[in-house]
Amino acid sequence: MTKTVLITGASSGIGAALALALSSDWHVVLVARRTDRLVALAAQINAGGRQASIITADITKTGAPLHIVDEAVRLTGRLDALVNNAGVFNVAPVSAIDQAHVVAIWSLNVTAPILLASAAIPHLAKHGGSIINISSVAVESTFSGCAVYTASKAALEAWSRIAREELRAQRIRVGVVAPGATDTEVWPAGQTFDRTRMSPAADVAAAIVAVLMMPAGSSIDRLVVAPAGGAL
């Protein structure tokens, strides 16, 4: 039976590139809010004789993580990997941080991936599986304006370390991939970023595939993906 991977944030950027990369061997379950994007990507994958399913959902809504995992298993019959990729990058100086800023970042970058993992663990434990959390090089950098975003990714990495230890006995590997600047929609259109100096989303996807496909005797615990030309 084909292995199944659940990818959040699959409607654009790194998540969409990952879905395309993995679909040659895996049944990919695509999760995001923009149905039109998911339908188009799934059609592209299915047209090539490969398998994609979609779940339209806001993963921050109460009950959504459990519903998404249950639906993925209902659609595909099993779950072998969860890639917590959906994330938001909102900027504010520390003097201007309000509750809305904190909640928007924390609910998507921290709470949702943790609850998705909780829901996925019983299914992943059946065959041995993987949880991969997408972090950021922001964790070991100092980017002004990014205090809450950086704290959210540091929190996700801290959770990952404990989960990795606790889940070994169930043959579930927990990996972290930390991209540097990557050319996606997270960088707003119309502003003057040098996109040629960013990693292509497909390169970050290739790194995630490498973590996922690591032979069972070892694991890649944390992988940094940096643009070849150096940091922006």
Q: How far is the CB of 224 from ligand NAP (least distance, A)?
A: 10
Please list the active-site residues. Answer: 149
Q: Using the minimum distance from each CB to ligand NAP, give the nearer residue, 9 or 129.
A: 9
Q: How far is the CB of 128 from ligand NAP (least distance, A)?
A: 25
Q: Using the minimum distance from each CB to ligand NAP, give the nearer residue, 15 or 129.
A: 15
Q: Report the C-alpha gap between 183 and 174 in whole angstroms.
A: 25
Q: Using the minimum distance from each CB to ligand NAP, give the nearer residue, 167 or 208.
A: 208
Q: How far is the CB of 179 from ligand NAP (least distance, A)?
A: 4
Residue whose C-alpha is closest to residue 65's, from 106, 19, 113, 110 = 113
Q: Using the minimum distance from each CB to ligand NAP, give the nearer residue, 104 or 214.
A: 104
DSSP 102: H
The two structure tokens encoding residue 86: 């959906």
Strand, coil or helix: 152: helix
Q: How far is the CB of 94 from ligand NAP (least distance, A)?
A: 19
Q: Residue 169: exposed, middle, or buried by beta-carbon count in 10 A (0-12, 13-18, 19+)?
A: exposed
Which residues are CB-contacts of 129 (< 8 A; sequence separation ≥ 6)? 79, 80, 81, 82, 120, 123, 171, 172, 173
Q: Using the minimum distance from each CB to ligand NAP, give the nearer residue, 108 or 119.
A: 108
Q: Enumerate binding residues for ligand NAP (CB under 6 A).
A: 8-15, 32-34, 37, 58-60, 85-89, 108, 134, 136, 179, 181-182, 184-186
Q: How far is the CB of 124 from ligand NAP (least distance, A)?
A: 20
- Please give the single-letter amino acid code of residue 38: L
Q: Report the C-alpha gap between 199 and 230 in whole angstroms.
A: 10
Residue pair 156/110 in contact (Cβ under 8 Å)? The answer is yes
Strand, coil or helix: 133: strand
